[in-house]
Amino acid sequence: MKLQPAQKTPRPLSSPMSEQRGGNRIPLSFGLMYSGLDDSNVIMGDGTVVDMSRGGLGVRGNQPVKVGMDLTLFLYLPDKEDPLFVVQTQVAWVHGHRFGVQLQHMSVQEEHRLHLFLQSFSRTSGKA
């Protein structure tokens, strides 16, 4: 399966979704599942990764989240059969059904897999 970059819409700098990451975002589109606690209620949601960098990702989800909430993610990368497991992320911003998370903790093996995935996509997307 070959990745196709997602369409990226320009946003004004004053937007709550303005660039907050240090690394470059790669526009993508693939599925994920997320879970976390909202007060004492467990939330479980499905969504789509819309962009990604080594330190975080943008998500369009079906369950509401709040800034500061810790989430666990299962990323359904198109390069592997098994989902990539991210033990802990933190919600950095929310705008409707869109939100951004900062990656905080994952195994060394999963971090390496994510790094290789991003490198691979960066190399292939630059070719004509």
Q: What is the pLDDT of residue 26?
A: 87
Q: What percent of the chain has pLDDT over 70?
A: 75
Per-domain residue ranges of the chain? 26-125
Evaluate if residue 77 carries a pLDDT over 50: yes
- pTM score, whole prediction: 0.76
pLDDT tens digits, 105-128: 999 999 998 888 888 866 655 544
Average pLDDT over every residue of 50-72: 94
More confident residue, 77 or 60: 60
Give the C-alpha separation, 116 to 110, whole Å: 10
Q: What is the pLDDT of residue 22?
A: 52
Give the C-alpha separation, 75 to 58, whole Å: 12
Among the four given CATH numbers 3.40.50.11540, 2.60.120.260, 1.10.472.10, 2.40.10.220, the one describing domain 26-125: 2.40.10.220
Per-residue CA distances from 101 to 41, 50, 125, 127 (Å): 20, 12, 24, 29
Contact 62, 16 (CB under 8 A): no
Q: What is the pLDDT of residue 35?
A: 97
Return the ∠ at Cα 107 (arms to 78 and 47), rounded to 5°: 40
More confident residue, 74 or 24: 74
Q: What is the pLDDT of residue 18?
A: 44
pLDDT tens digits, 5-32: 333 333 333 334 444 545 578 898 999 9
Give the C-alpha separation, 123 to 87, whole Å: 27
